[in-house]
Structure 1
């Protein structure tokens, strides 16, 4: 990259008060060239002149009226925990005390902040209320955690960054209030990639470890949520998903993670990234757990999974796009094939069909994410450049290079893609594929090189619901994630399908050694 290219980037960012180092300027100049190339490629697929840009409401908001020797069978799912509490098999105080003890012994780096005193006090209150016959909701006395992008009254929301926090404590996000109203107890805030980006290289902000192998990446950005559930440190966590941040770590840690339909869960009190794709959702042991949590945070009445016979006659589009990309592991394809066999045996009708417009939607999502993230952080990047992690700040600053024309065109591509995929899902009930094309990579791997193997962003671009659930593991025993997606607003039906598939398999019951990382 020439000196003049770096100089142009320096002058461009200086207008916003941003002053990268010489080394960062070189990386940003390369990012600018890549942005220009991607924008030109996407403009070549332009919709008809005058087509709706699809941004008046940002994105549509649809409300919904064989295991290795180290594995063990999970016994601490959210709903089983709630049942044990209701039957008096365990008290909330006993449960919270046990989980805090596990956290004390863990070396996975899952927690950023623990609320031990507040959680124990809430547990005592929950036990006393239950003794009086006062059950507050479906999660009465059940401990959960929050990704540290979600505000809670106990303390600041740091986004796992040295940048001064936006939310300093004292107030809950709306979804946190809904969890408490349902009886949940917040144990603490858990780790993430800085500001919700999938990778972090800042030694000040160490990443959580994967409980299957502490030298492997747990996925991002809801890393602590997925790793903690997999390790048995808590039965469930609430994460966020802007391009796969719930589903990718769920896949790599072997748990179930759900990205609801865009707009179904309120994001007030959640640190923003890219507002037209940001989504909040649950991570837990299985689809039934995720459904229960989703209904609470979405403000919906409690309703269990539907008929498990839903698989008979279910129209399944199997999308294997990307499973042959460079670096993909054959285990991902084998996991999809194994799921297809289970579904077919249960009476599903299988069709191998690719999601239409997939590449354009992925490209549009990158542009929208980049431009919106830069706009969200522009002023704080200028004031606190050195406080951001080196990878995070360069990634964010690269979003400056998308022009208004690029952004509006990407939104037009999204609008067109939503219509195409909605029509496609008129023919099929669900789409099945792999969440990630590899098992968990080592921490020293080039994580940014793995982005083409993440098969998640299309569902952020459309805003449609998607769930990652454990599939047949790799030969090494490491988890492989399956992804199911459905039409907008079909959240309950999608999780019913995922639940039914889990009734026919035991992949979701696998866990690493008890309380791994201790």
Structure 2
């Protein structure tokens, strides 16, 4: 059931917030030993939150929209008094003294914190394998990755360990794990949601968004977390529309653009391509007009991203020097040696790799050739999108070229791992909203993800089209038997 259905049961007294919380805690107890979706389960906090909501309801108080709903939070969002590790030894003991804006808004809306979820270290990865505390596993097949970097959040939702969760998306880190785990993942417009309290990876790309079992639930969460925040200078001041009402607007007559370059991309699995094209046909049956469009620089996004994102990461992660907070090596005789050893011991291989790439790209003599050039290509990618949206209302692509791959499949080839984000990165480059939702399964029973992209601040249309497709296709009604998803 979704948030609206649970809210109805809570309001009618058919279930209490404490009972609903305990159901999900029991589910975590039953399956998380295998999945490792969570780094920390906040049992006492969750039950206390639920009991307060039950007491308020019993007293006849008017309750906010998420009252009693168990939610999980990616462990790169600061939660006051609760460890926020970014799945890194560097922050293993870090307990934030403040709450992130998005989590603060969730708790004000009555959400119940059930735990902090696993991720690739500092959100750098596409499989959750770079977590310093061990990988998460895919609920559909534990021998497969759940995607990344928000793999723990996606797996927790897919396995029923929470009703919904928050993740972050820098190059596809909400949408790709959503595709791999068969759930809905929404990356809002850059600046639509505050980044205050999100531990920075690449500041011009990072965005917080929901993972859920339905488009309607994604709309519910976005309604709560979106909006201006004076503490975040990049947060937009634009008014927040009614996302839930937007779901019901008709889609007949909308023009859906199939991005030619995505369907011609190297490495695109034929089963993924067929499933996504079938989803496009379903939208056509609903009254949409299908149009082939070209975004010539779409596939250049990945090369551009792996200059810009590591460069920003290099700058953002410079603060972890072993002096002010975080991990500090005790095996050093000087300040310089202590800093070097702290960073070498506190950061994992992938994080160190990206710091080195970014530092090189920003170094004297190379910044114009790499970072400045990448920013110029980024502008061209945005212009391609602008041109496409003069003729269509929404763009349609696969979310990922493949379904979930096996653990270790790309361990010796980081470039192959990076290609998992080939189709999601361009939306981040342009700051556009994008959503992934299930559109089928491959022969092995693994979910396939459909990606939709709209223009800046056009989340209402994005959610509208996704919701109508979801309701017509009913993909999860015909899902195959899975290892842990009930």
Identify whether the pair has TM-score above 0.5, normalized to the shorter chain: yes
Who is 2:405 aligned against?
A: 441
Q: Distance in 2 between matches of 1:445 and 1:366?
A: 21
Who is 1:131 aligned against?
A: 58
Query: Secondary structure at the residue paired with 2:290?
Result: strand
- Please list, as runs of the form range in 1=range in 2, the aligned pairs for 1:61-460 lying within 5 A after superposition: 76-106=1-31, 107-164=34-91, 168-198=95-125, 199=127, 204-299=132-227, 300=240, 303-306=243-246, 308=248, 310-380=250-320, 382=340, 383-403=342-362, 404-405=367-368, 406-446=370-410, 448=414, 449-454=416-421, 455-460=423-428
Q: 1:182 Cα deviation (Å)?
A: 0.7
Q: 1:167 Cα deviation (Å)?
A: 5.3
Q: Which is further off, 356-365 or 136-145?
A: 356-365
Q: 1:450 Cα deviation (Å)?
A: 4.1
Q: Distance in 2 between matches of 1:307 and 1:228?
A: 25
Greater relative contact order, per chain length (Cα 8 Å cut-off, separation 6+): 1
Unaligned runs of 5+ in 1: 1-75
Q: 1:80 Cα deviation (Å)?
A: 2.3
TM-score normalized by the length of structure 1: 0.81
Q: Tell me: CA distance 1:435–1:464, structure 2 relative to 1, closer, same or farther (3 Å).
A: same
**Contact 2:280-2:290 at 8 Å conserved across structures:** yes
**Contact 1:159-1:192 at 8 Å conserved across structures:** yes
Q: 1:267 Cα deviation (Å)?
A: 0.6
State the Cα deviation string for residues 255-277 of structure 1 (Å, max 9, x = none). 00000000010011110000000
What RMSD in Å do the two structures reach over aligned CA positions? 2.2
Q: Distance in 1 between matches of 2:260 and 2:418?
A: 16
Q: 1:493 Cα deviation (Å)?
A: 1.4
Q: Distance in 2 between matches of 1:515 and 1:130?
A: 38
Q: 1:301 Cα deviation (Å)?
A: 6.3
Q: Which is further off, 182-191 or 414-423?
A: 414-423
Q: Distance in 2 between matches of 1:346 and 1:170?
A: 50
Query: Secondary structure at the residue paired with 1:274?
Result: coil
Q: Distance in 2 between matches of 1:450 and 1:394?
A: 13
Query: Secondary structure at the residue paired with 1:213?
Result: coil
Q: Tell me: CA distance 1:370–1:190, structure 2 relative to 1, closer, same or farther (3 Å).
A: same
Q: 1:410 Cα deviation (Å)?
A: 2.0
- How many equivalent pairs are there? 443
Who is 1:488 aligned against?
A: 456
Query: Secondary structure at the residue paired with 1:122?
Result: helix
Q: 1:374 Cα deviation (Å)?
A: 1.2
Q: Distance in 2 between matches of 1:86 and 1:514?
A: 33
